[in-house]
Amino acid sequence: MGAESDRRNFLLGGTALAGGFLAGSAAAQDQPPAKDDPHAGHGGGGKNYGPTDPGDRGKLTPGRRKSGEPPVPVEHPDIGKLPWKMVNGAKEFHLYARHMRREFLPDQWFDVWGYGAEPGPKGTSSMPGMPGMGGAKEMPGMPGMPGMAKTQDGSMPGPTIEVVEGDKVRIIVHNELPEATTVHWHGLDVPAAMDGVMGLTQDPIPPGGMFTYEFELRQNGTFFYHTHVPMQQAMGLVGLFIVHPKAAWDPPVDRDFALILQEWAILPGASVTNTMSMEFNIFTTNGRAAPYITPMVVRQGDRVRIRMVNFSVIDHHPMHLHGMTFWITGTEGGRLPVTAWTPHNNILLGVAQAMDIEFVAWNPGDWVLHCHMFHHMMNFMSTMAGPMGGGAMKGMAAGGSMATGMGMLTRGPALNPDFGGTLGRGTGENTGPDRAVGTGPMMGAGGTQPGMKGMDMKDGMSVPGFPQEMSGMASYSAAELKKLTKPETRGMRDGWFADVEGLTTLIRVLPPELYDKVVSGKGEVAPGASVPGAGPGKASGHDGHGGMKMDPPAKGHEGMKMDPKKEPAPKKDEHEGHKK
C-alpha cells in the first residue's frame, strides 16, 4: 500500500472519529539537495513518509508537503516580521525600542514598551492607525498566509526575526526609550561581547543611542530576543527569533506557527502594567487576550508545528490542546532527536522556556489551546464581594489578599514591616462568610442575571460554592463584537467567544472545501459550519452567554468594572493585513 493511500486512510479514520490513529514512521537519512535547486540548503532529501504503525499517533505521519521541499515561513498571528537588507555579507536588521500602545481587547488600549522597524515620529507613539498618533510606513506582509498581520512600524511583542542557520546577522538596536537598555539573544550561542548584559558584557545603550550586535548563527530552532533590564521585560520588550535549519526537518510541516505568552497586572483605572505585582489579571498571546486573538486556520490533514515561548513574569503555564495528541519535538535548546519525542495534550511551559509541538490536524472542528491554570482562563479576574452560597467555608487566612498581591496597598509603603508576612500571593480567599460573586452587570428581578441563562441566585444560594461559572460576565458592544468577527472566524458558532478568554487561542481544523472558503473570503459560510453536529449557536446579545453589553451598573457600583480609558475608534482598520 502506497504512502498516499495510507495517509488517506489515516485522515478518513480521523474524520470518522475512529478509535486510534494510523500513523507512520520511516528512516530519516538526509540526502543532499540538488545543486540547481533555488532552495538548496533547505531541503530534507526527497523521502515520503507513510503511516505504518497504528500506535504511532501521528508521530511521523506526513502532511501535504513532501520531503525535499523548503521549510514554510513561520506565521505569528497579530505581530509582524522584521525586514532586513543584505549589507557587506550580513543580513542587517534595525530594531527600535520605544513606548507604544497595544489593544489587548476590543477598544481596551494599554501603554507598553515594544520594538519597531523604523524610527518613531517624534513626540508620538509609533503604531500606525492609532488615533492621535503619528502615521508610519507599512512594510510588506506575508501574502497568502491566513492570520498574518502586515509588518507594522512597531509591535508588542516585537516583530519576528526569521533567518537560516549559517546566516551572519547584524542587528542595530536604536534606543528611543527615556532610559538605558540592552538586548539579549535568548538561547543563542553568541560571542560574549554580543550577549547584551548591561555592564558585564557591554555598556548600556543610552536614550537616543544605538548599539550594533553582529554574530553568525550556528544553531537552529525557536529562540527569542529581549531586553536584559528586568522591569523592562515586564513592560513587553521581547520578540521571536526563529532560525530555520539548513535542511528542513522530516517529516516537513505544512504550517508553522509561533506564539509568545505574557501576563500583566492592570490596576483599576490604569493603562500601564504594575511591574512590581505578584498577581496578574490579564494574559496575552502575541499581545492579544482571548477572545481578541486571531485563530490559526489549518486544512484538515496538515502537519502543524506550534512554537510557544513563555515570557510571563513569574507564572508557568500548563498549555492544553483539545482534540488532538501532539508530540514535543524541540525546546529552546533546539530540535530533539526523534527517539526523545513524547506524546502529550498538556505540557508545562516554564518561564523563559520555548517548546515546539507537532501534530497532524486530522480532527475537524474549532479547538482551544489554553493555559490550564484556572485563573489564567479569564480576563480581569478580581476580588469580589457578596454572600456565599450554602454556608461559609472555614479556614484561617494566610498571606495577603489578591489586592495586596497586585500592589494595591492601603497601610503605608510597600516596604512597610507590616507586610513582611503577607507580601505575595494570598491563600485566604473564601475562608470567611463573604463569597465572591461577579462584578459584572447587576442582578435582575428574581435574582437571575439578564443574559445569563441557567444562573438562578435564589436556588443557587442553597448549593455550597455557588456561583462559580463566570464566562457570561464578558460583555461586548456591537462595535467590539465587530472587531472580534475577523475573517479567520467565519463559520464559527454564534457566541463562540463566551468561554474563550485569557491565555487561550484557537486552532481551526477545516475540511478542504470549508478551508478554501474561509481563507479566500468567498462563498457563504453558515455559523457553526466548522463544528460538526453542534449547530449554529446562540446569536450574540440574545439567550445564553451572548455578549451585548448590559445597562450600566447602578449608582455606587461604577468602580467595580476594571476598564482602562478607551481610545476612540481608529480611522484605519487594524486588521487590514488579515483580509483577503
Amino acid at position 114, single letter:
G
Strands 365-371 vs 317-321: parallel, antiparallel or unpaired:
antiparallel
Predicted pLDDT of residue 234: 95
Q: What Cα–Cα distance (Å) separates residue 343 from each residue in 60, 164, 364?
A: 12, 28, 20
Mean pLDDT on 468-484: 76
Query: For the chain, what percent of residues have pLDDT higher than 70?
Result: 62
Contact 223, 74 (CB under 8 A): no
For residues 205 and 172, give the distance between their C-alpha atoms in angstroms, rounded to a whole number. 11
Structure confidence at residue 388 as a pLDDT band (50, 70, 90):
very low
Amino acid at position 321, single letter:
L
Please name every residue paired with 216 in a beta bridge, in sequence order, or none if there are none. Answer: 168
Predicted pLDDT of residue 375: 84
Q: Residue 118's CB: how many other CB atoms inside 10 A?
A: 16
pLDDT in tens, 64-122: 888 888 889 999 999 999 999 999 999 999 999 999 999 999 999 999 999 999 988 76
In the predicted model, is pLDDT for residue 205 greater than 70?
Answer: yes
Burial class of residue 399 in the structure, from the number of CB atoms within 10 Å of its CB (0-12 exposed, 13-18 middle, 19+ buried): middle
For residue 76, what is its C-alpha cell? 505569528
Higher local confidence (pLDDT), 144 or 382: 382
Strands (E) across 265-396 are located at 282-285, 296-299, 303-310, 317-321, 326-331, 334-335, 342-344, 346-349, 354-360, 365-371
What size, in residues, is the chain?
580
Strands (E) across 201-324 are located at 210-216, 221-226, 238-244, 255-264, 282-285, 296-299, 303-310, 317-321
For residue 427, what is its C-alpha cell? 491563600
In the predicted model, is pLDDT for residue 484 greater than 50?
Answer: yes
Place of cell 494510523: 22
Predicted pLDDT of residue 270: 86
Q: What Cα–Cα distance (Å) separates residue 247 from each residue in 39, 41, 47, 126?
A: 10, 5, 13, 37
* Phi/psi of residue 478, nearest 5 degrees: -60, -40
Query: Residue 24 is inside which H or E element, if any?
Result: strand 23-24
Q: Which residues contact 308 (CB under 8 A, 6 or more apart)?
A: 258, 259, 261, 319, 349, 354, 355, 356, 357
Strands 303-310 vs 255-264: parallel, antiparallel or unpaired:
parallel
Q: Does the CA dihedral 58-250-319-154 come out positive or negative?
A: negative
Place of cell 509541538: 357
How high is the mean pLDDT of the chain?
74
In the predicted model, is pLDDT for residue 306 greater than 90?
Answer: yes
Predicted pLDDT of residue 266: 87
Higher local confidence (pLDDT), 50 or 318: 318
Contact 574, 119 (CB under 8 A): no
Contact 117, 82 (CB under 8 A): yes
Mean pLDDT on 506-533: 93
Predicted pLDDT of residue 154: 84
Please name every residue paired with 334 in a beta bridge, in sequence order, or none if there are none. Answer: 331
pLDDT in tens, 397-430: 445 565 666 566 666 665 665 655 444 444 344 4
Q: What single-letter DSSP state applies at residue 253?
A: P
* Phi/psi of residue 203, nearest 5 degrees: -75, 150
Please name every residue paired with 256 in a beta bridge, in sequence order, or none if there are none. Answer: 305
Q: Count of alpha carbons within 13 Å of 344, Cβ hemisphere only?
A: 19
For residues 58 and 304, give the distance between their C-alpha atoms in angstroms, rounded to a whole number. 11
Spacing of C-alpha 120 from chain mean position: 26
Q: What Cα–Cα distance (Å) separates residue 388 from each residue in 397, 431, 457, 474, 566?
A: 16, 10, 11, 22, 34
For residues 262 and 283, give the distance between their C-alpha atoms in angstroms, rounded to a whole number. 6
In the predicted model, is pLDDT for residue 457 greater than 80?
Answer: no
Query: For the chain, what percent of residues have pLDDT higher than 90?
Result: 48
For residue 363, what is its C-alpha cell? 480532527
Predicted pLDDT of residue 13: 47
If you write DSSP's letter for every residue of 103-152 in order, what string do you get? EEETTEEEEEEEEESSPPPTTS---TTSTTS---PPPP--TT-TTPPPP-
Quote the pTM value.
0.74
Higher local confidence (pLDDT), 5 or 379: 379
Query: Residue 160 is inside which H or E element, if any?
Result: strand 158-164
Give the 3-state secondary structure of residue 511: coil
Higher local confidence (pLDDT), 42 or 177: 177
